[in-house]
Chains A and B, each alone.
Chain A
Amino acid sequence: MFNFFNLGKVFEVTSRSIKYVFILFIIVLTIGLTEALFLSPEDYKQSHSVRIMYVHVPAAWIALGIFSMMTFLSVGTFVFKNKKFFLISKSLAPSGFIFNIIALVTGSIWGKPTWGTWWAWDARITSMLILALFYFMYLLSWRIIENKNSVIKISSLIVIIGAINIPIIKFSVNWWNTLHQGPSLKIMSETTIHSSMLIPLGIMTAAFALFSLLIFLMKFNTEVIRIKNKGLDRL
């Protein structure tokens, strides 16, 4: 199960890999930003404000992806009492929250010149705001609940309840009339983003994923050190 030896081994890997992930992140981010800000063409309709998309869309994807991962980890924590999953979930949450906020803010900045408004209470934007609130609730629950056993249970339940929102976010633009545009990348049909714009989008997504991994590793190591200092039986 969750013994010192195992955790020590994991820590050895996670603490060492940080600098490599950091170097890789800087490289990919540099390529991604050069592509997104200078090399990629402007859009036929929105001209240069299309460049906001290269931050907005990857940030939203990562925010959704991390919450989905946290959902599986929380089910594992709650049902099977897995004693590592909640640590992973707790370490993932901050970067998911950050990217959720970035997606909301960049969306707002894009919305003003494109739509003509900073904010609209349409289904996509509101459901994304609800996701941010769930992230916030999750992070807060670790701060305010003292009892170790209850905080593990309650935080997992917050994620599981919030997970119902994930398909609503995904399909909000198909189910209802929204101001937000529909999906450009579809599984069943052709993508409606030109390839010269798809490449920087992909690289920026990779860069953001690496950044999440970096923050995750740092946070995870901090948690492990904290457990080590407190002694294992306290967990």
Chain B
Amino acid sequence: MVKKVKLRIAFLLTLVLSLILSVYLILKSLEKDVVFFLSPTDIKNLEEIGTKKIRVGGMVKNKSISINTDKINFIVTDFKNEINVSYSGSVPNLFSENKGVVAEGFLQDKNYFRAVKILAKHDENYMPPEVKESLGEK
């Protein structure tokens, strides 16, 4: 009886261990596909500029949004590197300066990204407007 229990524990441990290893290997080898977007630093470190659709994410740099006729240009930064993004179309309500953004589109060169879709990224801060104002005053 006790021996059977030990065998079953050994079986479970082997099963779980082998699964963890295989899941780890799969996720590790697919890392660049598991991440939802690349940061401007990742872009800078790219070896080659592909023609595939990719996503770039980071913060919209302060005072970088400029709108002319049908194009909207802004800079995405991760506070180490930055990249220029241009886009034409409607943006989500939460898209604004100093907020997170994910742009989907095509990399033209390492400094210029042509977006075909803009997603706003929300951060983990939740507070009423009054609290935000008093935080801003400080």
Contacts and interface: CB of A to CB of B under 8 A. Distances in A.
Contacts of A53: 126
A181 B20 contact: no
Interface in B1-25: 5, 8-9, 12, 15-16, 19-20, 23
Interface stretch (A24-32, A96-104, A115-123, A211-219): A115-123
Interface string B95-138: 10001001000000000000001111111111111111100000
B94 interface: yes
Interface stretch (B34-42, B43-51, B62-70): B34-42
Contact of A160 (B15, B126, B130): B15
B29 interface: no
B128 A176 contact: no
Contact of B12 (A44, A79, A168, A197): A79
Contacts of A115: 92, 94, 102, 119-122
Contact count band on A: 35 or more
Contact of A183 (B36, B121, B124, B130): B124
Contacts of B95: 116
Contact of A179 (B15, B91, B102): B102
The binding surface of chain A is classed by DSSP as loop
Nearest to A126: B34
Nearest to A184: B124
A78 B12 CA distance: 9
Contacts of B133: 44
A175 to B, nearest CB: 8
Contacts of B125: 184, 192-193
Most buried by B among A45, A50, A196: A45
Interface string A42-68: 111110001001000000000000000
B128 A196 contact: yes
Given A120-B119, A160-B12, A164-B20, A43 B35 contact: no
A182 interface: yes
A114 B92 contact: yes
B8 A192 contact: no
Contacts of B34: 123, 176
A120 B35 CA distance: 11
B57 A114 contact: no
A178 interface: yes
B127 A78 contact: no
Contact of B35 (A116, A164, A177, A181): A177
Contacts of A179: 36-37, 102, 119, 121
A117 B95 CA distance: 13
Given A116-B117, A178-B35, A182-B124, 8 more contacts: A79-B8, A114-B120, A120-B36, A160-B12, A177-B35, A184-B125, A193-B127, A194-B126
A75 B15 CA distance: 12
A160 B130 CA distance: 47
Given A45-B94, A78-B12, A177-B38, A194 B124 contact: no
Contact of A114 (B8, B12, B122): B122
Contact of B124 (A46, A79, A192, A197): A192
Given A115-B121, A181-B121, A176 B127 contact: no
